[in-house]
Amino acid sequence: MEGCEAAPSTPLVARRDQGDDKVKMKKQLGLLEGVAIILGIIIGSGIFVSPKGVLKEAGSVGLSLVVWVSCGFLSMIGALCYAELGTSIPKSGADYAYIGEAFGSLPSFLYLWDAIFIFVPTTNAIMGLTVANYLAQPFFPDCDPPDAALRLIAAICITGLTWLNCQSTWVTTKLQNVFMVAKLVSLGLIIVGGAMALATPQGRARFENPWEGTSTDPGQIAVSFYSGIFSYAGWNYLNFMTEELNDPYTNLPRAIYISLPLVTVIYVSANVAYLAVLSPSAMMASDAIAVTFAGRMFGALAPIMPALIALCALGGLSVHIMTSSRLCFVGARNGHFPDFLSLVTAKQLTPVPALVFLCSLSLCYLTTSDVYMLIDYAAFVESMFILVTILGLLYLRWVQPDLVRPIRVSLGIPITFLFICTFLVFLPLYVRPLEVGMGLLITACGVPVYLVTIRWRDKPVWFQNMLYSLGYSSQKMFMGLKEDTED
């Protein structure tokens, strides 16, 4: 990465020598897999969790639907910006690569620091807890499931899917096609059930006073966007795997153009369906909205819904584990994380050390099962760095006007997106001071870590030996090798 000041590499020397068979992750993702990855990570746990959070902060049915439509629009214009960045800087790592290209080593390291220690493991924990909630809910119809049981189920899901990702990228991506069908079937059932409810006078009556109780606090409205944005989160995650995408100049933008409008229509329709069947108070009282919805609409068939939704959340968790591990892998490859995290296994050619490391961090976040606190915690930090990435796009337009840009969006699109992100980042400062403050504090802690581990060149011998031992042990444990460089 241009501008990176790589730390001295751990001397990992074991190689695989098979003639022209290089040690590299393969280009094995086409357009269908790209669409499945985006749909898989967006349509995960969010649409079955976030409607409650959006409605709580928005205060009314009307504003909550406006928030859902606006979040879809925001994701679409953001995805257009990332299509330009992903095709003009065709590197894996998404925001990490783009921030590094624009602003250099320290800002990109801080993104990586926050991603690895805040919003990647937090999102994994949220998705795992969502699977657990929907699997456990039918067994506890009249009370909340035991907290310890939820966290245990979430931990099993995270570790199991990490193991699958370690075994095969091809199997994991093909499995996304199955998960995608489950997602569309479950949401299709919700939308059809909502349409049936809207055909009744009672269903239509729920929309007679849509603006009653609307929140007028800008900070609360911004927080309602956080819950909505969490449900759309993932529109930029295919960019993490650009180097594994066949013909990225064509398939990356096409996957975005297909996925985002489809997701927006599905999400808005699903929320209309929820509101046609459940009153706002019923939605606020439920921690498993789709299960409550199915109980009202489908009677004896209602138990099917938790299973389908658990599959949806499992699919989102699986693809999030896969894509985020590439971010950790690329960061280590560029010298911003310990070198052993840039190893790939000799047989499967998957970044197993990065996958295991992120799995361990995700399990640490299961010390709480408060999903809504985790959403606020993760969404602020991620929104902050998306803002920095868009600033990077505008900065590169200025300093590198001749950079080859296969996709070049109108200048008004990133400027509009920049203003909206600024609103979302700064207004919640007084509504969620604890979550925002902790996010900023963890970001600030990355600065001394960067200065000590990366900028400090003459590290003591004991520190270098420790890194060598860690790398050597990892090689033996995971049968790992360094990637071959391009000729």
The pLDDT tens digits of the residues spanning 175-226 come to 777 777 777 788 888 888 888 888 888 878 888 888 887 887 777 787 788 7
What's the average model confidence in pLDDT over 380-385?
78
Give yes or no for residue 19 having a pLDDT over 50: no
The full DSSP string for 297-344 is HTGGGTTHHHHHHHHHHHHHHHHHHHHHHHHHHHHHHTTSS-GGGGEE
- Quick one: tokens of 237? 């995650």
* Averaged pLDDT, 353-358: 87
Q: Is the pTM of this model over 0.75?
A: no
Which tokens belong to 127?
């998705």
Distance in angstroms (rounded) separating the CA atoms of residues 111 and 103: 12
CB 4 within 8 A of CB 100: yes
User: Range with the lowest mean pLDDT among 32-41, 303-312, 318-327, 373-382?
Assistant: 373-382
Range name among 31-40, 83-92, 371-380 with the lowest pLDDT average: 371-380
Residue 126, beta-bridge partner list: none
* DSSP bridge partners of 480: 345
29 phi, psi to nearest 5 deg: -110, 120
pLDDT tens across 79-93, in order?
888 888 887 887 767
Distances (CA, A) of 39 to 70, 226, 247, 328: 18, 19, 19, 22
Best CA proximity match to 416, nearest among 387, 392, 396 = 387
Identify whether the C-beta of residue 23 lies closer than 8 Å to the C-beta of residue 291: no
Q: Which of 178, 151, 222, 202 is nearest to 379 (CA)?
A: 222
pLDDT band at 159 (very low <50, low <70, confident <90, very high): very high
DSSP letter string, 266-283: HHHHHHHHHHHHS-HHHH
Structure tokens at 138: 């039918």
Residue at token pair 């009307």: 62
Least confident of 153-162, 334-343, 414-423: 334-343
Highest-confidence segment of 62-66, 135-139, 312-316: 62-66
Tokens at 232, concatenated: 């759309």
Q: What is the DSSP string of 128-184?
A: HHHHHHHHHGGG-TTSPPPHHHHHHHHHHHHHHHHHHHHH-HHHHHHHHHHHHHHHH
Give the pLDDT confidence score for residue 155 in this predicted structure.
92
The class that CATH gives domain 31-482 is mainly alpha
Which of 21-30, 161-170, 281-290, 364-373 is most confident? Answer: 161-170
Residues 29/244, Cβ–Cβ less than 8 Å:
yes
Residues 6+ away with beta carbon under 8 Å from 115? 95, 96, 324, 327, 385
Radius of gyration of the chain (CA): 22
**Local confidence band at 391 (pLDDT 50, 70, 90 cut-offs):** very high
DSSP secondary structure string for all residues of 75-141: HHHHHHHHHHHHHHS--TTTHHHHHHHHH-HHHHHHHHHHIIIIIHHHHHHHHHHHHHHHHHGGG-T
Bridge partners (DSSP) of residue 481 are 344
Comparison of pLDDT for 427 and 260, the residue scoring more? 260
User: By three-state DSSP, how is residue 29 classified?
Assistant: strand
How far apart are alpha carbons 344 and 1 in whole angstroms? 19
Mean pLDDT value across the chain: 78
| Alpha-carbon gap, residue 39 to 51, rounded angstroms | 18
Q: Which residue has the tokens 């001071």?
A: 433
